[in-house]
């Protein structure tokens, strides 16, 4: 016997609120309840399929799991160990004197994504290009450089979103950056680096909204769609409560990155605690191997609260220009 969902009566938003008011017995008006994110960004919890002005199907990339190795004398040895543990992306802190032969010995850059940070902004791109040309001629490598280093040869970080900044300001920063890149015809190989915020639902919505805004900015200028790369990092644990284990925080932060379809999600960095970094990577394996979050197109599509928050953030970016 087949059953159609159309056979069931659908409760309207008004009926839902009326039932909530009945349960509250006059102690409070259900319409006063709000999901508050920050000033100017809040919604009622009574969301239905017609709540958002626009619904989007966002096709992000499959999220890959990464580990930030940072700057250590044992960077090569550590990186190879994490590759054995299933890391798909590695981040290193490099400078003008970095010996790439030693750093990448035994590491196949055509099989992983590599993010090269430079604390002193002195990464030698010519030196890096010569190494890549000599070792990977005719092969494709996925290398991101940053932060805010100009490059014609590699993917580049064009904006860094700090977790201490409001969602409103972050989305406006991204939109302004996108418009400037398009106006200057420098939108190829664009990468956004994003420090994950604690609000789980709003963080997913922000990641979705960034992709919608990127598509809209390109469409405004009648530019053929060009992929955008979003890198998510965990930087908020510096102010964590000692009563909450860092891995618990890392868990929900990383899950928001996966459900928001970050291209790369970096877990806890090796430099802070090697064992915690390994366990953080294992959390990502659970998301991918057991929950299959990296194999679903737009996993939160149909979650009306997230779609409404996405809609508000897109509006902030595209309509409330600074």
Residue 28 lies in a domain: no
Question: What's the pLDDT score for residue 105?
Answer: 96
pLDDT tens-place values along the chain, 322 residues long: 566 667 777 778 888 899 999 999 989 998 889 999 998 899 988 888 777 666 677 777 789 999 999 888 899 999 999 999 999 999 999 999 999 999 999 999 999 999 999 887 888 889 999 999 999 998 999 999 986 566 677 898 999 999 999 999 999 999 999 999 999 998 988 999 999 999 999 999 999 999 999 999 999 999 998 999 999 999 876 555 667 788 888 888 999 999 999 999 999 999 878 999 999 999 999 988 888 777 778 888 888 899 999 999 999 999 865 4
Q: Are 230 and 259 in contact (CB under 8 A)?
A: no
Residue 11 lies in a domain: no
- pLDDT tens readout for residues 300-311: 888 889 999 999
Verify cis geometry, omega within 30 degrees of 0, for the bond prior to 147.
Answer: yes
Question: What's the pLDDT score for residue 322?
Answer: 46
Give the bridge partners for 194, in sequence order.
161, 232
CATH of the domain at 170: 3.20.20.240
Residue 23 lies in a domain: no
Residue 43 lies in a domain: no
> 2-13 burial, b for 16+ CB within 10 Å, e for fewer?
eeeeeeeeeeee
Take residue 278 and report the two structure tokens written for it: 């390994």
Residue 31 lies in a domain: no
Question: Model's pTM, two decimal places?
Answer: 0.91
Query: Cα dihedral sign for 262, 268, 270, 276?
Result: negative
Question: What's the pLDDT score for residue 5?
Answer: 61
- Cβ neighbours around 177 below 10 Å, total: 17
Question: What's the pLDDT score for residue 3?
Answer: 63
Domain count for the chain, please give it: 1
- pLDDT tens readout for residues 207-250: 999 999 999 999 999 999 899 999 999 987 655 566 778 888 88
- pLDDT tens readout for residues 215-225: 999 999 999 98
Residue 216 lies in a domain: yes
Q: How far apart are CA 292 and CA 290, in angstroms?
A: 6
Domain ranges, residue 208: 64-318
Residue 131 lies in a domain: yes
Residue 248 lies in a domain: yes
Question: What's the pLDDT score for residue 135?
Answer: 94
């Amino acid at each position: 016997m087949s059953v159609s969902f159309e056979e069931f009566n659908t409760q309207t938003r008004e009926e839902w609120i009326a039932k909530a008011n009945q349960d509250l017995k006059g102690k409070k008006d259900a319409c006063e309840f709000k999901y508050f994110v920050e000033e100017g960004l809040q919604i009622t919890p009574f969301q239905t399929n017609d709540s958002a002005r626009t619904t989007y199907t966002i096709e992000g990339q499959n999220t890959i799991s990464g580990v930030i190795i940072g700057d250590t004398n044992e960077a090569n040895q550590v990186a190879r160990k994490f590759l054995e543990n299933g890391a798909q992306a590695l981040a290193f802190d490099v400078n003008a004197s970095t010996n790439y032969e030693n750093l990448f010995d035994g590491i196949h850059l055509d099989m992983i994504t590599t993010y090269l940070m430079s604390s002193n902004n002195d990464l030698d791109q010519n030196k890096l290009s010569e190494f890549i040309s000599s070792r990977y001629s005719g092969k494709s490598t996925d290398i991101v450089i940053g932060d805010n280093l100009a490059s014609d040869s590699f993917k580049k970080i064009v904006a860094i979103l700090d977790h201490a900044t409001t969602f409103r300001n972050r989305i406006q920063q991204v939109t302004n950056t996108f418009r400037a890149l398009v106006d200057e015809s420098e939108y190829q190989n664009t990468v956004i680096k994003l420090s994950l915020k604690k609000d789980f639902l709003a963080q997913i919505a922000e990641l979705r909204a960034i992709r919608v805004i990127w598509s809209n900015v390109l469409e405004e200028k009648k530019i053929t769609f060009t992929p955008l790369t979003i890198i998510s990092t965990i930087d908020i644990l510096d102010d964590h409560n000692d009563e909450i284990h860092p891995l618990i925080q890392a868990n929900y932060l990383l899950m928001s990155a996966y459900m928001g379809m970050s291209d790369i999600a970096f877990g806890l960095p090796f430099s802070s605690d090697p064992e915690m970094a390994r366990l953080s990577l294992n959390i990502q394996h659970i998301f991918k191997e057991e929950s299959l979050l990296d194999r679903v197109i737009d996993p939160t599509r149909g979650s009306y609260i997230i779609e409404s928050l996405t809609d508000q953030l897109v509006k902030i970016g595209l309509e409330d220009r600074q």
